[in-house]
Amino acid sequence: MTSWHPHIEQGDEPIYVTIASALYRDIQEGRLAPGTRLPTHRALARRLACNVGTITRAYAEAARRGLIDGEVGRGSFVRHPAARGRLTTPPPESIPEGLVDLAFNLPAGGPSSAERSEALAELAARADLDGLFTGYHLQGLPAHRAAGARWLAERGVDCARERILITGGAQHALAVALATCGQPGDVILAEALTYTGLKPLARLLGQRLQPVELDHQGIVPAAFEAACVGKEVRALYVQPTSQNPTAVTLSRARREELVAIARRHDVALVEDDTYGFVDDSGTPTLASLAPERTYHFTSLSKSVSSGLRVGYLLPPVGSDDVLERAIGAVTAIGWTAAPLVTELATRWIESGVARRVAAEKRGEARARQELAQRILGDIRTPSGRDGCHLWLELPEPWSANEFVARAQLAGAAVSSAEAFVVGRGNVPPAVRVCLSTPRTRAELERGLSALAATLRSTPANAPSLV
């Protein structure tokens, strides 16, 4: 561990920002080498005569800038230069003008302008809106939970409205699920490549995230079993349908294997079904196969409208204690979703608008997968041909980060595999390509053509033969 003692010049910025900036400066000037383990929060707080919370915020700011990685139980480490700057999915507003956004997963489409205006006008004309503006509804209003039960039934998940919790989107639901099933220090397993929002959440909750091997059919059951043997594993976070980032959908046989292993080792299953709407094959959810141990959640931000931050969480059945703890976690983490927004979601579910929009997005996703296949040609990918995104495995000698940089120069923004790796494992030469984000197929075609041109080029750091 380094004895790093940054030079701090107090100015107008908060002290935690100043510390993060000093860290950046020392990395750039070579005083902190890649892989260096930084002082603990408490040790650095003593050196700088500030509180531990300030150092925690400083390290979090440095991680946000892509400077360091933090792991519960191991510490914080300086990232390698090639892994800085392009690791996380950039927010839409950070995509430069003229660059096709294939990095941020926001499936285009949704209720029409007329449908949005009509729904808002009908809400404004109602006289019984008091319940949407007054009081606290920890699980959500009964009518909203009933709509949630109806929406889950579309995926074959049978539940009573009394067990549903309304959340402010999928990230809120995931936070509630992890806080309910685990405690600080607990081991949470996840696919070796996983949703980027899981990692900072596990750090925030003090839970130890460990990877489970993937193959081209998804999470490997034998690897899941091996990870459970001799360890106090609390839960497995898994995306069985159109996994993010690989877009692999688990077969029924694999789902049944995972359930059997979870039962043998008494492990909870945290099932993220955010992209479940792309699958209409009838493959059962984990919640249907193992309702007694599955925390199942989904949201409407991908399937209906990106601004509709409404999620539905179904805790395991058969235990009122679990439900009570989940309700407690909802209130501790962010209360519930805004009732007015949830009322809008409820209206669209009840009227059939939500179901129609999800079907339209499913059809559009398949059409765009076909377009990608035509433009990119014979690519290597484990992805199914029905998802909103594509996992592009790169040919030799491309690395993920160099391809991201070269694709951006060509006119398309994609996400490096580095952003999705759990732990300090090797970064596969692959990128995630979000096909459903561009508003038109013409825009998508332009972005895919940029990727195709990049694939045909040679990396700048490729070795030369002499």
Question: How many domains does the structure of the chain reveal?
Answer: 3
Q: Which of 353, 379, 414 is the last residue of a domain?
A: 353
- For the full predicted model, state whether its pTM sits above 0.85: no
Task: Find the mean pLDDT for residues 6-21.
Answer: 80
466 is a domain residue? no
Are residues 279 and 333 both part of a single domain?
yes
Does 337 share its domain with 388?
no
Mean pLDDT of 285-297: 97
The pLDDT value recorded for residue 74 is 66
Does 21 fall in a domain?
yes
- Do 36 and 78 lie in a common domain? yes
pLDDT, tens digit (0-9, with 9 covering 90-100), for 421-460: 998 778 899 999 999 999 999 999 999 999 999 999 988 6
Q: Which of 122, 172, 105, 106 is nearest to 348 (CA)?
A: 122
pLDDT, averaged across the chain = 89
89 has pLDDT over 60: no
Determine phi and psi for 309, rounding to 5 degrees. Answer: -85, 70
- CA dist., res. 424 & res. 429, Å (int): 15
Confidence of residue 232 (pLDDT cuts 50, 70, 90): confident
Looking at the structure, do residues 132 and 257 belong to the same domain, yes or no?
yes
pLDDT tens-digit readout, 301-357: 999 998 899 999 999 998 789 999 999 998 888 877 888 899 999 999 999 999 999
Can you name the residues that pair with 165 across neighbouring β-strands? 313
Q: Which of 291, 323, 353 is the last residue of a domain?
A: 353
Looking at residue 338, which CATH number applies to its domain? 3.40.640.10
Residue type, 38: L
Q: Within this chain, do residues 293 and 361 fall inside the same structural domain, yes or no?
A: no
Residues 292 and 318 in one domain: yes
Q: Mark whether 124 and 99 lie in a shared domain.
A: no
Q: Is 178 part of any domain? A: yes
pLDDT at site 80: 63
* Structural domain that includes position 195: 113-353
Instruction: Please give the single-letter amino acid code of residue 134.
Output: T
CB 379 within 8 A of CB 430: no
Give percent of the chain above pLDDT 90: 63
End position of a domain, from candidates 308, 323, 353: 353
pLDDT reading at 240 higher than 70 = yes
The reply to whether 276 and 238 lie within a common domain is yes
pLDDT value at residue 85: 44
Whether 461 maps to a domain, the answer reads no
Tell whether 392 and 331 lie within a shared domain: no
What integer pLDDT is reported at residue 95 of this predicted model?
A: 57
74 and 105 in a single domain? The answer is no
Output the CA–CA distances (angstroms, integers) from residue 399 to 83, 411, 438, 451, 462, in the order listed: 10, 18, 25, 14, 10
One domain for residues 329 and 397: no
235 and 329 share a domain? yes
